[in-house]
């Protein structure tokens, strides 16, 4: 969604400027063209070479190197980010001072501006800095952070640069189309865990990545997203309401609380089909169990498919083999609008992989094969297909 977009990343003189290298790298990795601009003070902390290496672009450091770059570069940029932003740079922006390259470019830029401040807490709380932030916010500038925590000066307080992941997410989100605005989407992800005793459980190999990427992509595109996840090491995407569950029954309860208000349910979770018929409160001793009796867990998708009304319901079919017939059967029997089939035995598809290979089947009989691609790209394709179904069926 953000490939080919152009972001100006301004780095100013804070010890947190080393974190800007990570921001530049992550934005570049997302296909964004990043031009870094540094103040003289930033160059006391970091070399332009570090930014040149990660962005593969020229770094701008001097207003007079090229008499027009402070105007031409902003003209061709989609977003202006300052991270970290010092009290001095914020003050210049708020007062209309443009005596060096960063403040001159800010003055010449007309689009979305994001500022991530980083400074000592006393400086941040200074009424002049607060007034400058208020005035800039009133002109449409958006501030990210700062966070609270230990500061480089030895103080504890508010002034730390916001998490670099949060800053990157804010940029990508601001650059994404808002075609899901007004939609409420519930996404499930990860495995469920069915306890045998306090130590052991039945589960599966799902990492949760596909569901987390769908939640991330939907949130970036403006949806109000709730992510309900079984145990997963993944960090929930910024801007998403997160509910952590363990078992299939807990997942069913969590979905049922959110289902009434949602426009769509996307069940990417690998719900365990079986649970032990009884839970032993005490650890079962080695010789204490020969046969493990199982019961079926609730089929969450099936039960909400029955109550779907005008909601759009999306399922996944994890198969060992490209079994389109079985996926179509699941689509029909669970009353879905769309199902994404993946053959978990293929290399680069399924559990724990950064990529996936899916075939998407919709209720109108549309079938499309998608080659191996990153899960975030597949998430956007699934959302595009959901939007098309919404268009066809009015507000479903
Ligand atoms: N699903 C569910 N509740 C279950 C099992 C599955 O909601 N107890 C959902 C999954 O989240 C997925 C879809 O149903 O979106 C299909 O899951 P899958 O494991 O492929 O199929 P099953 O219905 O479990 O059937 P089988 O395991 O026999 O293929």
Specify the residue with its C-alpha closest to ligand 1, atom 20.
Answer: 317
Does ligand 1 come within 6 angstroms of the Cβ of 330? yes
Q: Considering the candidates 71, 128, 153, 292, report the single residue annotated as catalytic.
A: 153
Of the two residues 365 and 146, the one the predictor is more confident about is 146
153 is catalytic: yes
Of the two residues 157 and 284, the one the predictor is more confident about is 284
Rg (CA), the chain: 25
Mean pLDDT in the chain?
95
What's the distance, CA 268 to chain centroid? 16
Q: How confident is the model at residue 133 (pLDDT cuts 50, 70, 90)?
A: very high
Question: Does an H or E element contain 158, and which?
Answer: strand 156-160
Atom of ligand 1 nearest to the CA of 300: 7
Residue of 45, 16, 34, 19 lying closest to 73 (CA atoms): 34
Specify the pLDDT at position 259.
Answer: 97
To test the pocket of ligand 1, the residue of 264, 273, 340 to mutate (highest count of ligand atoms within 8 Å of its CB) is: 273
Specify the pLDDT at position 322.
Answer: 82
pLDDT score of 354 more than 60: yes
Specify the pLDDT at position 347.
Answer: 86
Does ligand 1 come within 6 angstroms of the Cβ of 300? yes
Q: What separation in Å is there between the alpha carbon of 211 and the centre of ligand 1?
A: 14
Quick: pLDDT tens for 69-103. 899 999 999 999 999 999 999 999 999 999 999 99
pLDDT score of 60 more than 80: yes
To test the pocket of ligand 1, the residue of 228, 230, 271, 360 to mutate (highest count of ligand atoms within 8 Å of its CB) is: 271
Q: Is 144 exposed, middle or buried (0-12, 13-18, 19+ CB in 10 A)?
A: buried
Q: What separation in Å is there between the alpha carbon of 242 and the centre of ligand 1?
A: 22
> Can you name the residues that pair with 264 across neighbouring β-strands?
185, 312
pLDDT score of 13 more than 80: yes
Does ligand 1 come within 6 angstroms of the Cβ of 316? yes
Q: What separation in Å is there between the alpha carbon of 228 and the centre of ligand 1?
A: 16
Right CATH for 184-393 from 3.40.50.1950, 3.40.50.10300, 3.30.70.20, 3.90.1150.10 = 3.40.50.10300
Specify the pLDDT at position 394.
Answer: 55
Residue extents of the structural domains in the chain: 6-175, 184-393
At residue 79, what are phi and psi to the nearest 5 degrees? -155, 145
Taking the model in full, what pTM does it have?
0.92
CATH tag, 6-175? 3.40.50.1950
Cα separation, 300 vs 291, in Å, equals 27
184-393 has the same fold as 6-175: yes
Mean pLDDT value of segment 381-396: 84
Q: What separation in Å is there between the alpha carbon of 349 and the centre of ligand 1?
A: 17
């Amino acid at each position: 969604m953000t490939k080919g977009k152009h972001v100006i990343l301004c780095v100013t003189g804070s010890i947190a400027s080393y974190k800007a290298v990570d921001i530049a790298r992550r934005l570049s990795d997302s296909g964004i063209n990043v031009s870094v601009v540094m103040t003289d003070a930033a160059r006391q902390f970091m070399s332009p070479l570090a930014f040149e290496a990660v962005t593969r672009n020229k770094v701008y450091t001097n207003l007079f190197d090229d008499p027009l770059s402070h105007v031409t570069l902003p003209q061709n940029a989609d977003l202006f980010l300052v991270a970290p932003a010092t009290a001095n740079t914020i003050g210049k922006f708020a007062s209309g001072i443009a005596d060096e390259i960063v403040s001159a470019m800010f003055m010449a830029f007309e689009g979305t501006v994001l500022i991530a401040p980083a400074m000592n807490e006393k400086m941040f709380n200074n009424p002049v800095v607060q007034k400058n932030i208020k005035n800039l916010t009133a002109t449409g500038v958006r501030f990210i952070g700062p966070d609270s925590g230990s500061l480089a000066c030895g103080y504890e307080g508010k002034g730390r640069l916001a998490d670099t992941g949060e800053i990157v997410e804010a940029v990508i989100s601001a650059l994404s189309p808002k075609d899901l605005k007004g939609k409420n989407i519930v996404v499930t992800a990860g495995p469920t865990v069915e306890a045998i005793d306090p130590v052991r459980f039945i589960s599966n190999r799902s990492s949760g990545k596909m569901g987390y990427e769908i939640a991330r992509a939907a949130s970036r595109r403006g949806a109000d997203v709730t992510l309900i996840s079984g145990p997963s090491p993944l960090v929930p995407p910024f801007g998403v309401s997160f509910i952590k569950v363990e078992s299939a029954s807990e997942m069913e309860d969590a979905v049922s609380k959110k289902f009434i208000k949602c426009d769509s349910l996307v069940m990417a979770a690998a719900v365990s089909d079986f649970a032990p018929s009884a839970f032993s409160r005490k650890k079962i001793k080695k010789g204490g169990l020969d046969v493990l009796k199982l019961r079926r867990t609730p089929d969450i998708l099936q039960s909400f498919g029955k109550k779907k009304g005008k909601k759009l319901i999306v399922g996944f079919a994890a198969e060992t083999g490209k079994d389109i017939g079985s996926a179509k059967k699941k689509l029909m029997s669970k009353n879905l609008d769309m199902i994404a089939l993946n053959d978990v035995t293929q290399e680069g598809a399924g559990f724990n992989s950064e990529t996936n290979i899916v075939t998407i089947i919709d209720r109108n009989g549309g079938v499309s094969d998608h080659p191996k691609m990153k899960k975030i790209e597949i998430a956007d394709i699934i959302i595009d297909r959901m939007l098309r179904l919404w268009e066809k069926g009015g507000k479903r």
